[in-house]
Amino acid sequence: MQDEPLELGEIATPTWNVHNDKMAEVGFLTIARRLPSLVAQAMRMAWGASRRDTMATITLNLLGGVFTAFGLLATTGVLTALFSEGPTPDRVLAALPSLVLVGGAAVLRTTVQAGAGWAESRLTPQITRLTEERLFGLTSRVELVAYDDPEFHDALERARARGAGVADWVVSSAIDVVTAAVGIAAAAGVLGLLHPVLLPLLLLAVLPDAWAAVRSARMRYSTMYGLIPARRRKWIIAELLAEREAAAEVRSFTMRGFLLRMYDAVARAEQDVLLQLARRQTVARLVGEALGGLGAALVYVALGILLAVAAIPLAVAGTAVLAIRSGQSSLSSFLYATNSLYEQGLYFTDFLEFCEDAERRLTGPRPAAAPVGFDRITADDITFTYPGAEEPALREVSIEIKRGEVIAFVGENGSGKTTLAKILSGLYEPDTGTVRWDDTDLRQVNPEDLRQRTAVIAQDHTRWPLTARYNITMGTGKGEQALHAAAAVAGADQVIADLPHGYRTLLDRRFKDGHELSGGQWQRIAVARGFHRDADLLICDEPTAALDARAEHALFERIRHHSDGRTVLLITHRLASVRYADRIYVLDHGKITEQGDHHTLMSLNGLYADLYTLQAAAYR
């Protein structure tokens, strides 16, 4: 099968590179036009992170440009003295004062540049912290339904993957742009003071190099953009060859040779493209250097003519050469920083736009206080549709739950059971209809306060990379007695007793001394988490999915005993577990089609009786 053609397929551009197509298309003039607004945006962000460090960075960089210009002007005095007539010792002595100024300017420039670097290094972590706190402060507060909106999810991925992470890059690139611009201005200012005709010589010297640098950079950027799918494909294959999750199947299905063939095919294609890039960049550099050499020759010819007609002295010509060299270096830095600032600015704009959208999705102030307990929960004519869905998940649903009851939601997959439970607990808000705890409309209550009164044991519970204690307490401080009681009710105390460090054991094998649990053990920890909250409303959403038959029976017995005086909402497909519920609601395609206790529903010979009979038949 070695000659079989490989089907590599197409892989979409990852979030990290989502704007590379824009960068590949725009020219440098487009980037330069956006430069002032990007610099202003970066400076506002830096100012918000630390006014002192921002002021220090800007001021010290400006001073660096001043000292650069001063040093170049002082160089004229040195050259004037050295090129004057007279004995060499006398000329050296005459140059000493200007030489001291040159040395002093160099020392001061180095000092202030070091200070600017120190201030910028202080600024960077403050910006990173500020942007991350803003991002995660919003993601943890937006309405839960936002995570079911594909557009919000895509925007979040872009903001997380690169948007927030480039904030410090944006500021650093903006500072580099300002620093390079100051350097160019310093060189141009010196040349203007020496002689106005020297300014065009600066352009003549730097433009060829600038063209070559921009041309080479655009070539590389376009090539790297084209290679994104290939590199992502390589990364995916590498993960299969080197990661623990796939290691067993790679060996059991003897896939090593096949995967290496795929990797080699992609790597060779990438290699060919990079070799072509190297050739094209070499040609561009040669052309640029040839034009640069021609420009340098014209500069020296122009300086020679100016010297020949006595338009400038020799010392001024020497200083002009140094100023032009300084301007070339600053221009190279300016081009690189500008390109980087524009690219990072595209991703940072994603972050800003996501934050604006997330702020619109926050729950506003609510006038009513969360009820302390309830006698009855009622839902009247509830309709709910997920973002982007064509059909409602719930249609005109009405139910009633009394304090202390065990209520069960039953139905096939997609019938709306979990959605209805989330609405009753305040995690979702219905499109139409009302949910009340006694006389309190949940739309008038702060959802965060209401969630303190509810607990959810979910089938897809989170396996927190924390200690066993925190996996149960979720950071609440109710004391050891509440912790041990919740663990005992859920059967998690037996799991924790076998852990090497008890409740202090870290439940994540990726960390040192971490420990991994089985699915059933994790399920018991999640159940203990729900019991520990000791809430008015306990929602159990498929709480036994990962448990064996004996553990499942024991857990439901515990839930029944633990529910004494509490209200339990049970969602499960295992109907033998709900036959003792006070009331069972049967959902079908978002509507409640049957309700009553087990005997009532069996006598109806409807959907519940059909499902129960099918399950019971499997055990006969």
Q: What is the pLDDT of residues 135-148, one digit of tens each?
A: 898 888 888 888 88
One DSSP character per residue, 497-511 reads HTSTTGGG-BS-TTS
CB proximity list for 378: less than 8 A, separation 6 or greater: 398, 399, 400, 401, 435, 436
| CA distance linking residue 427 with residue 396, whole number of Å | 18
The domain segmentation of the chain, as residue ranges, is: 29-360, 376-618
In what helix (H) or strand (E) does residue 58 lie, and over which residues does it extend?
helix 51-82
Q: How confident is the model at residue 334 (pLDDT cuts 50, 70, 90)?
A: confident
In what helix (H) or strand (E) does residue 182 lie, and over which residues does it extend?
helix 167-194
Which CATH number does 376-618 carry?
Answer: 3.40.50.300
Nearest to 397 by CA among 417, 416, 381, 414: 381
Whole-prediction pTM: 0.72
User: Which pLDDT score is estimated for 383?
Assistant: 93
Facing residues of 383 across strands? 432
At residue 11, does pLDDT exceed 50?
no
Work out the average pLDDT over 60-88: 76
User: Regarding predicted confidence, which is higher, 72 or 551?
Assistant: 72
**Most confidently modeled range among 4-13, 99-108, 551-560:** 99-108
| CA distance linking residue 257 with residue 245, whole number of Å | 18
Residue whose structure tokens are 């032009």: 324
Q: How many helices (H) and strands (E) does the chain have?
A: 20, 10
Quick: pLDDT tens for 285-326. Answer: 788 778 777 777 777 777 777 777 777 787 777 877 788 778
| CA distance linking residue 402 with residue 415, whole number of Å | 23
Q: How confident is the model at residue 1 (pLDDT cuts 50, 70, 90)?
A: very low
User: Which pLDDT score is estimated for 395?
Assistant: 92
Q: How confident is the model at residue 394 (pLDDT cuts 50, 70, 90)?
A: very high
Residue 159 DSSP code: I
At residue 585, does pLDDT exceed 90?
yes
b/e sequence 317-356, b meaning 16+ C-beta within 10 Å: bbbbebbbebbbbbbebbbbbbbbbbbbbbbbbbbbebbe
User: Which pLDDT score is estimated for 380?
Assistant: 92
Whether the CB-CB separation of 423 and 394 falls below 8 Å is answered with yes
Q: How confident is the model at residue 399 (pLDDT cuts 50, 70, 90)?
A: very high
Quick: pLDDT tens for 441-490. Answer: 888 888 888 888 888 887 778 888 888 889 988 878 788 888 898 888 88
| CA distance linking residue 577 with residue 29, whole number of Å | 70
At residue 20, does pLDDT exceed 60?
no
| CA distance linking residue 182 with residue 180, whole number of Å | 5
Domain 29-360, architecture per CATH: Up-down Bundle (1.20)
Report helix, strand or coil for 542: coil
Q: Kindly list the strands in the beta sheet with 406-410, ordered across the sheet, starting from the edge strand earlier in the chain.
A: 454-457, 537-541, 567-571, 406-410, 583-588, 591-596
User: Regarding predicted confidence, which is higher, 600 or 160?
Assistant: 600
Work out the average pLDDT over 506-532: 85
- Whether the CA torsion 238, 243, 248, 249 is positive or negative: it is negative
In percent, the amount of the chain with pLDDT more than 70 equals 86
CB proximity list for 300: less than 8 A, separation 6 or greater: none
Work out the average pLDDT over 402-431: 88
Average per-residue pLDDT for the chain: 80
Q: How confident is the model at residue 28 (pLDDT cuts 50, 70, 90)?
A: low
Work out the average pLDDT over 211-240: 74
User: Which pLDDT score is estimated for 2?
Assistant: 52
Whether the CB-CB separation of 590 and 393 falls below 8 Å is answered with yes
